[in-house]
Amino acid sequence: MIHDDILKRLRTSRGGFVSGAQLAETLGVSRAAVWKHIKALERDGYGIEAVPSKGYRLLSLPDRIVAGDLAVRSGARGIGRSIVLRDEVASTNTLAMELAQQGAEDGTVVSAESQSGGKGRLGRSWISPRGNLYLSVILRPVVPVHKAPLLTLMGAVAVASTLRKHSGIAAGIKWPNDILVDGSKIAGLLTEMSAEPDRIRHIVLGIGVNVNMDLRELPVDVRRASTTIAAVAGRDFDRTAFLAVLLTELDWWYSRFLKNEAEVLTAWQELNVTLGNRVTVSGFGHSLEGAALGIDADGRLILKMDDGSLRPVAAGDVTIVKKHGHGPRGQGRR
Ligand code: BTN
């Protein structure tokens, strides 16, 4: 698309001018057509300076996620090859489940600027004001149903890796899938599935990342345990750029999962902040306390109880009672 090509050229000129004549020639259109596309980009929220003898120069990006821009950056293959962007939805997971039911392809991503009924784990709500990332990925893996929880761990590895690589934030994973920075939650994942007893129809991997929101948008009790990329880094972040890296990471880790799921478990273990500590796991009306020994091949947490027995736990909320060691490599800012 000419719109995307112009954007790509403006981007790659790194703040320098690109002449209208040059754009027209390389794209095989008239200078008037280039000008029309520039106007369309401005309507999309891009700040573009036009100087008669010099051409066009990109000054600023829109404060929202732009599909064309995302495709230019991520390469748009595998996860994210099809992207549905909305302004506000009840929940991207709910919309993604509906689209999956209607046949949306493996790797389709649904993202929204805000959610009016965002869903969290264990039936909680996920407060979703503007300024963050809310996305759900439709996956159709051909793997046994009991392997589905590993996809949440896969997603957690992709999110933590993106935070480390893109934002320079040393994020760790608390079992099963809370992404923490120095003990505060910066992202969370919620996986939903449609399956028959022996076959996964589709999985929706929902990811919420706190990017630029004002933490005062959260109720006090949630706020105390939360942080944002902007709060940790001390500046606002380009959400489209973050999402593009996240899609690339998800694509990579999903391909690793399909090839050899043990690689995902190894990466998860390296990034985790749970194992090796004494923990309580609560949920479903009861709570267990023990030493978090490891995770099994299906992603369940193995607790060593005080009587020496081993107890696999499939779901719950972990609280670290007593910390041993130093968590994942490089905790703290990079
Ligand atoms: C949690 O930690 O409790 C999980 C939070 C998951 C939130 C994301 S935001 C995008 C997707 N849509 C939802 O309604 N929930 C997930």
Residues 107 and 29 in one domain: no
Angle between helices 261-271 and 239-259 (to 10 degrees): 130
Considering the domain boundaries, does residue 113 fall inside one?
Answer: yes
| Co-location of 28 and 114 in the same domain | no
Which protein residues touch ligand 1 with a CB less than 6 Å away?
91-93, 115, 118-121, 124, 126, 134-136, 178, 188-190, 206-208
Ligand 1 center to 298 CA (angstroms):
22
pTM beyond cutoff 0.85 = no
CA-nearest residue, atom 3 of ligand 1: 120
pLDDT value, residue 248: 92
Q: Is residue 332 part of a domain?
A: no
Report yes or no on 122 lying in a domain: yes
In a domain? residue 331: no
Same structural domain, 191 and 290: no
CATH number of the domain enclosing 43: 1.10.10.10
Strand partners, 95: none
What mean pLDDT, rounded, does the chain reach?
A: 90
Task: Examine the domain organization and report whether 13 and 86 are in the same domain.
Answer: no
Instruction: Give the integer Cα–Cα distance in Å for 148 and 298.
Output: 8
Domain with 56 in it: 2-60
For residue 333, tell me if it sits in a domain. Answer: no
Token pair for residue 330? 């490089």
The residue whose two tokens read 């998860």 is 268
Nearest CA to ligand 1 atom 11: 206
pLDDT of 236 > 80? The answer is yes
74 and 113 part of one domain: yes
Any idea which of 49-63, 72-86, 159-173, 317-331 has the lowest mean pLDDT? Answer: 317-331
Q: Which atom of ligand 1 is nearest to the CA of 187?
A: 2
Q: 113 or 67: whose pLDDT is higher?
A: 113
- For residue 316, CA distances in Å to 21, 177, 203, 209 come to 61, 11, 20, 20
Number of domains in the chain: 3
Q: How confident is the model at residue 15 (pLDDT cuts 50, 70, 90)?
A: confident
Residue whose Cα lies nearest atom 7 of ligand 1: it is 208
Q: Which is higher by pLDDT, 72 or 28?
A: 28
pLDDT score recorded for residue 334: 24
* In-domain check, residue 330: no
Task: Quote the CA–CA distance of 268 and 66 in Å, as a whole number.
Answer: 31
Specify if 327 maps to a domain. no
Same-domain check for residues 77 and 50: no
CATH number (domain holding residue 301):
2.30.30.100
